[in-house]
Amino acid sequence: MLSHLALLLLSVSVHALRTPQEWRTSQHILSPSRPDDNDGIHLAVSPNCGPLSGNAVDVNAGVDLKRIKTIVAFGDSYTDGGRDDGGPLSPAVVVPPDAEAGGRSTNGKVWVEHLADDYGATLMDYAQSGACTDLSLWPSAIKKVDFLGQMVTFLNQSNTLNPESTLYAVFFGINDFGDSKTDGEANLQAAAQVILSQLRILASPPTNARSFLLADVYGLGTHTPAGDAMVQTMFSGLYDLSRGINSTGHGEGIDGKPPGPALKVAFAEFSRIWDGVLGADPGYEAFGYVSTDACIVDCSIVFCSTDGMCDDPDHYFYYIPSHPSKEGMRIMADYVEQVLERCIEQ
């Protein structure tokens, strides 16, 4: 149920933003505490890099972040920056007793804001707390928002974004998986297909998108065969899109038709972080956490209060239930950056 909560958060200390160069340095020398060390929380796992053909792994097949000037983001509360129309976000600060930092489900910036900051890109965020891929698949969905609706908002704006310098970040699955516990697992495959079909729409006129980043952590540390199969369907679909197979949805590359545009795609499996923090290898302490609990538990479906919150929010993995603290959002961005920079498909 908690994964349905769209949003939430606390008091934010402002840290100097780290540039990608500083990040690389800190990663290489495994530097200990510094004033800007993300309160001591750091990645203690690495991406599992591999090829785009085959089983789902972390991979970057063509996305060049240095060319990216705009990031368009779709997703749920993990990616929701507090508004869903692509416009400028509110400051990521907590004003008690409202635990949400500017409408976010955490106490600071969400991962994709860090990604945009680090590469000097403008973020257009359409993500919505509680969103699934397609409400028609999940009658039990509490929040009536989905990827399809976010696409309506985006396309209705008739944005004129340069395909060569725009990255489309798509991160769904947590709420689909949560709903599947009530509605049944059968539609998880359909959810994966919804994501692929929306990528094809984005790749088509008038948007003509060419660069995509998909992320996943559907089970927040739990794995099921049906969940893994959903991820694998998305991943295998990306391989086809990267080769121009049905890449704008007109059957390109099938039955003798010429291939369509080859899309640049990357895939990041945040489950490595969740498995590492919540499991024994290497365990939460290795990341610098003192607890895997949520700091704030005084939440309704629409509001979380800072009243009675824990004393040490910086070192609790979750800020509000099932939602990482701002430090966790930072290491999610670090993880994606490692995928994009190190998991380059040969």
Ligand X SMILES: *[C@@H]1O[C@H](CO)[C@@H](O)[C@H](O)[C@H]1NC(C)=O
Sites of contact with ligand X (CB under 6 A): 152-153, 156, 197, 200, 246, 249, 251, 254
DSSP 227: H
Helix (H) or strand (E) holding 61, with range, is: strand 59-61
* 76 to 12, 257, 328: CA distances (angstroms): 22, 36, 16
Residue-wise over 285-302: b if at least 16 C-beta within 10 A, else e?
eebbbeeeebbbeebeee
CB of 82 to ligand X, least distance (A): 18
> Minimum distance from CB of 235 to ligand X (Å)?
14
Residue nearest to ligand X (CB): 249
Instruction: Find the shortest distance in angstroms from Cβ 247 to ligand X.
Output: 9
Distance CA 3, CA 10 (A): 19
Considering beta carbons, is residue 119 or 168 the nearer one to ligand X?
168
- Give the residue with the Cβ less far from ligand X, 153 or 305: 153
For the CB of residue 265, give the shortest distance to ligand X in the complex, in Å: 15
Min CB(99)–ligand X separation in Å: 29
Question: Which is nearer to ligand X, 249 or 283 (by Cβ)?
Answer: 249
**Three-state DSSP state, 318:** strand
Q: Could you tell me the smallest distance in angstroms from the CB atom of residue 129 to ligand X?
A: 18
Tell me if residue 303 falls in helix, strand or coil: coil
Q: DSSP secondary-structure letter at 185?
A: G
Three-state secondary structure along 199-212?
Answer: HHHHHCCCCCCCEE
As a whole number of angstroms, the distance between CA 259 and CA 254 comes to 8
Residue with tokens 């993300």: 38
According to DSSP, the residues that pair with 167 across neighbouring strands are 71, 211
In angstroms, give the least distance from the CB of 204 to ligand X. 9
The nearer residue to ligand X, 151 or 344, going by C-beta atoms, is: 151
In the complex with ligand X, the residue whose CB is nearer, 93 or 151, is 151
Nearer to ligand X, 2 or 229 (CB): 229
> How many other C-beta atoms can be found within 10 angstroms of the C-beta atom of residue 282?
12
Closest to ligand X by CB, 152 or 186: 152
